[in-house]
Amino acid sequence: MLVRVEAAAITAPELTWAETWESDGVDRTPIIPSHEFAGTVAEVGDGVEGFAAGDPVFGLVPFDRDGAAAEFVAVPASSMGHRSSSVDPTIAAAAVLPALTAWEALHDRVKLAAGQRLLVRGGAGAVGSMLTQIGHAADAHVTATVSSADDVERVRSLGADEVVVVPRGSDPEDLRGFDVVVDAVGDRIPRWMYAAAAPHGTLISLQFPPDDELASEYGVSTVFFVVSADARRLAELDDLLANRRLTAEVASLFPLERGREAFETAGTPGRRHGKVLLLVRADRI
C-alpha cells in the first residue's frame, strides 16, 4: 500500500545497521530512513484486502526497505495496521517499534502470565517503558531498574510495582527469582541479570545474543530475536493505545526538512526520554 505519511519516528542506531544500507549484499544507497510511521492510506495495491484509501494506519516498514522520512512510503500490507481515530499519529509512530518489541517479547516469545514476576532492566527507556506498561497490562508483577533516582516516579507511573535504582556499572545482589528478565538497555548483558532469573526462568535479550555459558551456569532459558510487524500485534497495540492502557513519550518534533538535525538530536547521549519525530504534515507543527 501507499501511505501518506503524517509522522515518522527516529531510531538513531538504524544508521549503523547493515540492512539499512544493503539488501542481500547489494548496496541500495541512497536510502530513506525512519521505519516507524503513522499516516493514512493513499492507494491500495492489487490483492490487498481490509484497507481503503483514507484509512488511518500505522506500522513498521521492513528494515531493508526505504523508510517513512518522506511524504509517501510504500509498505507491505502485512507490516501495517489500522489506527483508531482517537490515537494521535505522533503517539502511534513513537510507540510502534518499542511497543512491537515489547509485545513480541512478552506475549509471543514467553507468553507472560498474570502473577508472574517480570524484571525490566532499563525501565525508563523507550522499549523499557513499553515492557513495563505491557507487563502491567498483563497483570504481572513488574520490577524495573533505572540508572537515576530522577526516573523512579515516572517509571512507577507507567505501572511498575517496584523501581530499583541501579547505577551503570553496579551489580545488585538482591534481585532474584524472576520468571522473566528482559534487558532493554542495549549493551552486553551483565552477569547479575542471569542470576536474577529464577531456575528455569527466561532471559530475553533485544540487542546482543545471550551468553550460552552463563545461561547454562544459572539454569535459565534465553531468547534473542529481531522484531517484526504483523496485523495481529498491531491490532493489539492499537487497542491498548486507544483505551489509554499504553502511551509513548515524545521528546521533540521536527519538520521533515530538518531531518538531519532530528537524527543528530536522537543520537545525543543523555537527552530527555522519549522519541524524536519527524512531522511530515506542516499543519501539525
Task: Determine the Cα–Cα distance for residues 55 and 83; give it in Å rounded to an integer.
Answer: 8
- Sign of dihedral through CA atoms 176, 201, 210, 271? negative
Contact of 136 with 158, CB cutoff 8 Å: yes
Kindly give the pairing relationship between strand 275-279 and strand 250-255.
parallel
The predicted model scores a pTM of: 0.90
Cα separation of 200 and 197, whole Å? 8
- CA–CA distance, 270 with 180 (Å, rounded to integer): 28
How far apart, in whole angstroms, are the C-alpha atoms of residue 276 and residue 10?
Answer: 6
Superfamily of domain 97-224: NAD(P)-binding Rossmann-like Domain (3.40.50.720)
Q: What is the mean pLDDT of the chain?
A: 93
Tens-digit pLDDT profile for residues 105-114: 999 999 999 9
Helices 231-242, 126-137: inter-axial angle, 10-degree rounding = 80
Tens-place pLDDT, residues 210-261: 999 999 999 999 999 989 888 899 999 999 999 999 999 999 999 999 999 9
Q: Which amino acid is at 11?
A: T
pLDDT tens per residue, range 112-165: 999 999 999 999 999 999 999 999 999 999 999 999 999 999 999 999 999 999
Cell 492499537 found at: 238
Model confidence at 89: pLDDT above 80: yes
CATH number of 2-83+249-284: 3.90.180.10
Mutual angle of helices 231-242 and 89-103, in 10-degree steps: 120
Give the domain ranges of the chain: 2-83+249-284, 97-224
**pLDDT score of 285:** 44
